Amino acid sequence: MLLHIPEVLTAEELAHGRALLARASWADGRITAGTQSAQAKRNLQLPQDAAEARELQTMVEAALKRNAMFFSAALPKTVFPPLFNCYQGGMDFGNHVDNAVRSDPFSGQWVRTDVSCTLFFTGPDEYEGGELVIEDCYGSHQVKLPAGDMILYPSTSLHRVEPVTEGARIASFFWTQSMVRDDAKRTLLFDMDRAISSLRARLGDGEETVMLTANYHNLLRMWTEV
């Protein structure tokens, strides 16, 4: 599933986050890259324990918790602490697949990366290039979203960030271990959830809506790992 989630951050959160990012000290982005990814990665990144990064992590995590679309699509069990990167001056990140598991630097807990997300802090009119290109069985998809919006996609996807030739592309990125690890099953559940919400809004909790809701929860019960 490739999903655009709009307005994850409020205007106030976005302004505050950009102010924090403007005064933060950036480091080489390869600090969190694996051996193979480090060869293709050219960007800047906030150290995970920097004060600005910790405040931004809390803000993004709070935004995710209140976002119904994110919950429905990702069915999160564990969210890896959000990271923050910057591309400028020709920086890019070549084709790669995200590491299958990562260790939370604060808790030491291992997190399986089922779902990848990029949350944009700069808008498409603020930089040239910098498209996130995600490849799947349907081809290549170029993503460049408004500030405050987020793209969600399977962590199994081959993807890259094109060179930023002007301006700066600043974003948060993170991974989620889902309660349902299989992307096809998550997609089916997400579509069912949207259909249930639409039926409930139009028809209320009639017999058909209740039956479909029961089927959704029974599938979720069958596939969930908690």
Contact between 45 and 26 (Cβ < 8 Å)? yes
Collapsing DSSP states into helix, strand and coil, what is residue 219? helix
| Angle, helices 11-23/51-65, rounded to nearest 10 degrees | 160
Nearest to 142 by CA among 152, 133, 155: 133
What single-letter amino acid sits at 138? Answer: Y
**Residue 98 annotated in ligand binding:** yes
Give me 186's structure tokens: 């998550």
Tokens coding 115: 């779902």
- To the question of whether residue 159 is assigned a binding role by annotation, the answer is yes
Q: Is 169 annotated as a binding residue?
A: yes
CA atoms of 121 and 178, how far apart (whole Å): 25
C-alpha 177/C-alpha 226 separation (Å) is 10
Residues belonging to the binding site for 2-oxoglutarate are 169
Residues belonging to the binding site are 96, 98, 159, 169
Residues belonging to the binding site for Fe cation are 96, 98, 159
